[in-house]
Amino acid sequence: MTFISINHKHDPNEPVIGQKLIDLSKPSVMGILNITPDSFFSGSRFTPNSNQIIYQVSKMINDGATFIDIGGYSTRPDADDVSVSKEIDRVTPVIEVIAQNFGDKVAISIDTFRSKVAREAVNVGATIINDIAGGNLDEEMFQTVAELQVPYILMHSRGNPQTMNKLNDYQNLTLDVITELQEKVAKLRALAVKDIIIDPGFGFAKNAKQGFEMMRNLEAFKVMDLPLLVGVSRKSMIWRTLNITADEALNGTTVLNMYALMQGAKILRVHDVKEASQTIRLFEELGKVRMMY
């Protein structure tokens, strides 16, 4: 079995109190909570209102979320830049509310590529760092993760949200992505980072066609022997292919999530927790039937 260890309290001036092990040999759901006004899917945008946050997180947990991913910087292509201080001001009050009300029920992930934001988020209750830049945009990120000793989601990307669309030239897409991730894993291991989850980075420095190519080859990422997170929820590779909008892309998301599970995904990062949880339930039932024959 593959486990990650979650610290439910971290204060640099106090000992860690309490540990939780999450078994990633079974698929889990990560619910998206964006504290931004410009995320590509309107249904994931929230303002830092305590009652609204408590309601939404409670719903996600009841729907089956193991993780809640909090973001204060939209990383959609061509997104506006946000200052470090503004990002911190957006996410820390929300993390505090979630930690106080649901700290024993859900793992809180901070979606940021900035080490200062990550540190502040962990200090107020976040237990995982989800870095869409894989350390590329902040040279202090890997050292910060090592010091905080929290699980780290290492995503493949190139450039930044303003430039990544132009950086999708690969000799061999899947091999290049795996190689670039492996180089980062080696650096993290050298810093004694224990719990690493990998994310191939659908939509980040990859166009729609490349996204489907990588999805077809997803099983190849098993060579890394690390838990695999897949985040395709309502992304443009779905709605552009189907000539619909992000608001209409739930069905396509479910189809690709099932395929990702069949190829070894252990975490589905989604806007729609209930539907992803149902997908996992059906996937597990299929596995039980397969074992009978």
Residues 6 or more apart whose Cβ sits within 8 Å of residue 149: 7, 193, 194
Strands 128-131 and 107-111: parallel
Task: Please check whether residue 122 is in contact with residue 110, taking contact to mean a CB–CB distance below 8 angstroms.
Answer: yes
Q: Which residues are catalytic?
A: 235, 269
Tokens matching residue 68: 């809640």
Task: Report how far residue 198's alpha carbon sits from residue 287's, in angstroms, rounded to the nearest whole number.
Answer: 24
Task: Please check whether residue 150 is in contact with residue 127, taking contact to mean a CB–CB distance below 8 angstroms.
Answer: yes
Strands 3-7 and 19-23: antiparallel
